[in-house]
Amino acid sequence: MKRTMNKISQPEHTERLSSSLRKNMDRIKSLTGNSSDFITRTFQGANGLSMAIVYINGLTDTTVINDNILKPILSETEADMAEQRTLADSFTAIKDIFLTVGTTNTVNKIDDFMSALYNGNTVILAEGWDLAISASTSKWEQRGIEEPSSQSVIRGPKDGFTENINTNVALLRRRIKSPNLWKIDRKIGLVTQTDVCVMYLKGIADDAVVKEVLQRLDRIETDSILESGYLEEFIQDQTFTPFPTIINTERPDSVAASILEGQVVVLVDGTPFVLVLPVTFFKFFIASEDYYQRFDIASFLRILRYCAFTVSMLLPSLYIAITTFHQEMIPSTLLVSLAAQREGIPFPAFFEAFMMEITFEVLREAGIRMPRAIGSAISIVGALVLGQAAVEAGLVSAAMVIVVAFTAISSFVVPAFNVAIAARLIRFGLMILAATLGLFGIMSGLFFLLIHMTALRSFGVPYLVPVSPFVPKNLKDTVIRVPWWMMVTRPRLFSKKNNVRQNVNLRPDPSGKEEEKS
């Protein structure tokens, strides 16, 4: 049976502008439903030409409109009017001479007219013109540049992306002052017409990856794109997997570092979260702060993150398996202590762990959704009170509260929130396997996850590289970070052209021989 595609119906306004000013104004009012925020003003120019300006209140700078559009047009002199023998002359003179705004463009279609208005421009019409002038006057309220709330650092830049795509592009160009930093624009969403741009370093990024990203973006046919998460689900390689294959971040320094390694970034207007691709599993454990401090400290913290991720995924299931099926693995003293704690507990270990995990997940979500002033207090106090009350009521053992609490704390160590959520989802599946098959079930689940991760791709890049396939040269910045002077080349799978990023002779010489030679 042949599958038929449903086309999105969206009204098109591809007709051209009329030479009648009245017809154009009536058409605009009918399209906008005569909305009150669409401001129209008709007036007589100094040359007696009937003219009108149209703009959207709240998206434009009225001072610029008054000083740089209306005042120059209305102050034309007789000498200026004498030079304008035809309507075409008046159009050219106003567009190229009298308007003192940054940029002006010619508009000849209704849809281009409306697009200019929604971008905050002011459009100028006149009787007898079948064209219009779009003048840049955009200005709207926006959040200032602040420290990212989801990825804070002790040492490093404190600025973060905002909801304005132009501001975000400027933050990247401020860090990478190179003409090779290319930017390709798209508008996605038939209704929202969201501005989306792809940025990469020409000559370093893989052209095949850039082409694939653009093709996947061009295939998107939807009515709205309100956040980068929309695009992430549309362009990712694999949908049915708990592991993310695209990184999202609101740190400009992290995005700039990714671009310099040959990765491609996607910016979406209206959100501070930027997509970085392609990525590997090990990229989710790297914090931007790792590169701002000594390599030994950064390596220790990375190893700690991997251990915390493993704990957050495995600890409850290991506790269930050992206490239920493999008591011989527990030292006698500890076994007696656990048996004493579980005396009188009416539920098996799996139900204990499942009940406590759900409770902590509810408290975690409540702490996020509640007002910030009381959210953290409610989550902490709720966890303490509920845990203590559950132990005193004989519903769960004290050891189980410790296991679940340490598991919850470990999940916050991973820098990337989306991969921490993956561990939380996998945790419940491993708990079920541990309750039914013990350690054999846990190992079976881990082997299945390993096979699944090996098969994953992120825009053609294997998810577990440089471990599988094994690339020794890329191991210098995965589980550990070697000193900066040793990282001579970029990751080969991200950059296939210009792999060398620095001089090979940058190793410090503590003996002072270099000074003697000089």
**Structural tokens at position 14:** 């591809």
Final residue in a domain of this structure, among 279, 314, 347: 279
Measure the CA angle with vertex 125, ends 124 and 130; round to 5°. 130
The tens place of each residue's pLDDT in the chain, 518 residues long, gives 344 445 555 555 568 888 898 999 998 888 888 888 899 998 887 667 889 999 999 889 889 999 988 888 887 655 555 555 567 678 888 888 888 888 889 998 888 899 899 888 999 999 888 899 999 998 877 788 888 888 888 888 999 999 999 999 999 999 999 999 999 999 999 888 899 999 999 989 999 999 999 999 999 999 999 999 999 999 999 889 999 999 999 999 999 999 999 999 999 999 999 999 999 999 999 998 999 999 999 999 999 999 999 999 999 999 999 988 988 888 888 888 888 887 778 888 898 889 888 888 888 887 777 776 666 666 666 666 777 777 777 788 888 888 888 998 898 899 988 899 999 999 999 999 999 999 999 999 999 999 999 999 999 899 999 888 888 888 888 899 999 888 888 887 777 777 888 877 777 777 655 554 44
Same-domain check for residues 300 and 425: yes
For residues 370 and 447, membership in a common domain is answered with yes
Residue 440 lies in a domain: yes
CB 470 within 8 A of CB 280: no
- Tell me: do 413 and 300 sit in the same domain: yes
pTM of structure? 0.86
Question: What is the DSSP secondary structure assignment for residue 481, as one 8-state letter?
Answer: B
Same domain, 253 and 357: no
Question: Which residues, 6+ apart, have CB-to-CB distance to 354 below 8 Å?
Answer: 428, 431
CB-CB contact of 456 with 463 (8 Å): yes
Q: Domain tally for the chain?
A: 3
Please choose, from the candidates 384, 394, 342, 389, the residue with its C-alpha nearest in 3D space to the C-alpha of residue 360: 384
Residues of the domain holding 170: 165-279
- Residues 436, 316, single domain; the answer is yes
Cα–Cα distance, 279 to 164 (Å, whole number): 25
Q: Is residue 483 part of a domain?
A: no
Number of CB atoms found within 10 A of residue 431's CB: 25
Count of C-beta atoms within a 10 Å radius of residue 176: 16
Q: Does 44 reside within a domain?
A: yes
What is the chain's length? 518
Rounded Cα–Cα distance for residues 219 and 210 (Å): 14
Strands of the sheet containing 264-268, edge to edge, are: 181-188, 194-201, 264-268, 274-277, 247-249
CB 17 within 8 A of CB 130: yes
